[in-house]
Amino acid sequence: MNNSNETEAIVNKIVIVQVTRIGDLLQTFQAACTLKSTYPTAELHLIARRQFAQGLQFLLKNVFDKIIYLDIRDFVGTDPLIELAEVRANLHNWLAPLAHEKYDLLLNLSWSESSSLLSTLVAAKYKLGLRKNTLNKTVITDEWSAFVFSFVMGSNLNPFSLVDIYRNMMAKGLPPYQAAAFFPQAREIHYDFVVHPFASTPK
């Protein structure tokens, strides 16, 4: 990295949006471990649903520098007659600290309408995964996210591990000289097993 442009372009601060269930969080954790081991100085943040991530904090804190919990009750409270203006104010207050983080890369590893809206609202220089454009249309700009959205969701025929897909998406968000260092470690044969007995499908 002798080139000053490379130094300026380096991705140092990454936020990952993973608002789905425990199994997806565990796979996100595995992919993030590779990224963190390749770039130990990179700062990784995670946005995850409190009900799923809080119980895994003992594990997630080993790779993520900050975990931002998402809980719908933070926005709507417990009052069924809450005004829309109050909900919007609560959302603004939740987002405000994230605006000061100055993320280099946002990586949305969830495939839902709510996650695409959230990814649109969180500021970052570069974004991968689902998000919305100014016309409120879903936007996908990288190949791996498009592959997952088109062929993996709702199908049992995916030939790739989600961990490997997540690693490829992460590398896509890195400058070429960073990605080149990231990929060799991502392709090493290394077996980790996590027993997750609450999966909703036979596999």
CA distances (Å), origin 47, targets 7, 44, 111: 27, 10, 14
The answer to pTM > 0.95 is: no
Q: State the DSSP code for 41.
A: T
As a whole number of angstroms, the distance between CA 29 and CA 36 comes to 10
- C-beta separation of 18 from 46 below 8 A: yes
Look at residue 180 in the predicted model and tell me its pLDDT.
64
pLDDT score of 151 = 66
Taking only the tens of pLDDT, the chain with its 203 residues reads: 444 444 445 678 999 999 988 888 998 998 898 888 888 888 999 999 999 999 899 999 999 999 999 888 777 777 777 788 888 888 888 888 888 898 988 999 887 888 888 888 899 988 888 888 888 888 887 777 777 777 666 556 666 677 777 877 777 777 666 766 665 444 444 555 556 565 555 55
